[in-house]
Structure 1
Amino acid sequence: MNDLIEKVLDLAKKRNSFDKKNPFYVNLEKYLERLYNEINEVKDELKEKNSVFLEDEIGDCFWILFCLSQVLEKEGKIKSLENIFKRIEKKYKQRLIAVFSGDFENKDKCWQEAKKKQKKELILEHEKLYGEKLKFN
């Protein structure tokens, strides 16, 4: 599967390099609009015996996210798609550990506590990186 992800990412890089003049690639808001539209198409395909079309629409969501990540990386707004995957792995590993090591009856509470702890960690990372203080909600 990693090989497939790399192939799709390579396609997204190629797409972004040759299609810079297309308004879809000029304005980041267009990515978000397209993603929103694709999510609605996923909702439309959520019916029985429809896996072919559902997989296709979910693939469109991934495609837009991959292309968006390439633009954001190029603009210096994010470090990399790899960094995003590292954050995903860390975040949900911590949350699942919290849920499965805690009281099963209070799994939602454990999940929320893990989220709160992670939010504090993100704020500290942000402050260290950008030198500005943030308030924790």
Structure 2
Amino acid sequence: MGEFEKAETELRIFDKDFGRDGPVSRYQIRLLTSRAMRSPGLLKEDRTAILNQARELAIVSIARFPNHKSVLSAYCEVGIELCKLTGAYEVFDDAIAELKAAEERVGDPEISKIIARYEARVTAQSSDFSDFATQDTA
């Protein structure tokens, strides 16, 4: 809804009162991702820096909650946004690798569906990059 400061305050209060858990971590990652992509007037470098903060938070959160599929999904979202912004796939590749490792550990069929959904999104996005590059050179 674009009210990033209010959301950040609420998350900070909850974290202080109850401690960090998987859902709070996921919301913090999503907040940073949304702020990076939806805040008006930010330069590409600023958006990239905020997404890298989200990436770092996701990595720390996954170390604490390695089987939490929502935290892993939030990490994938960071990777997808970085792909869109920079064309680099390293973060997304790492996020998918983390999801696949959790899939092997947990055996949750929902994780398999999540992996397939994200891989399809990136494949579609890759073709968009190819189309853009073709149009740019024409």
- Rg larger for: 1
TM-score (norm 2): 0.33
TM-score (norm 1): 0.33
